[in-house]
Structure 1
Amino acid sequence: MSLLDVGPRVEGFAGELGGIAAVGSLTAPDDLVRLVDTTIEQYGRIDAVVNGAGHARNDALLEVTGQDWHDGLDMLLLSVVRMARLVTPHVLAAGKGRSGMDLGCPAYRGLRSAPCPVARQLVRP
């Protein structure tokens, strides 16, 4: 298991689970590259990805700035696209093809992860 979080506590948590961790942000492409590279070095493969980014700013429509919208899209959508693009070559190289890996996006409310249509499209060869 490989975890990424903005706070250093993730390293202790990953250690308790027998995994590895990186401190970084889903919105920083270099942090995602580092996480994927470290995961491949440690485990040799990636079987599943769950993006759990939290939620974007949730204010009244006229109080949310254009930059807030961009930041939300970067966190909630582009982080999924970036991660899918990074892991897909590894999935294809492992011969897992179309249905060999699940890219999940946690539901906005609740704890269950659901298949992410955007990510599923990106993983198709």
Structure 2
Amino acid sequence: MKSQDNCIFCKIVAGQIPSNKLFEDDELLAFHDIHPKAPVHFLLIPKTHVDSLADCGPGEGDVLARIMLKVPELARQAGCDNGFRTVINTGPDGGQEVYHLHVHVLGGPREQWKAPAP
């Protein structure tokens, strides 16, 4: 497990770094990606630090379920009526850049996407 002391997402959760929030409750936080690849591009994270999906076990089952159930609700609220994509980059070969579990949610007209999904 990597150190969470310098985790940018932990700092966002703590309010030390600002974010453009879409949703927040006791366990989850959703905010817009600062480098969007689609007209709608936000991240949904657990507030409790876990490095990646590969580091999840039975103890993370409830929060993983909450994340996956919250995604379609937030996507609809963001205007993704015609579908959306979810991406979880895991580990260096999976393209993970921030080692705090997060789900990318991308949507909007495909011809307006800036690059292939992460």
Query: What TM-score, normalized by structure 2, do the two folds share?
Result: 0.38
Bigger proportion of residues as helix: 1
Structure of higher RCO (CA pairs closer than 8 Å, 6+ residues apart): 2
Query: What TM-score, normalized by structure 1, do the two folds share?
Result: 0.37
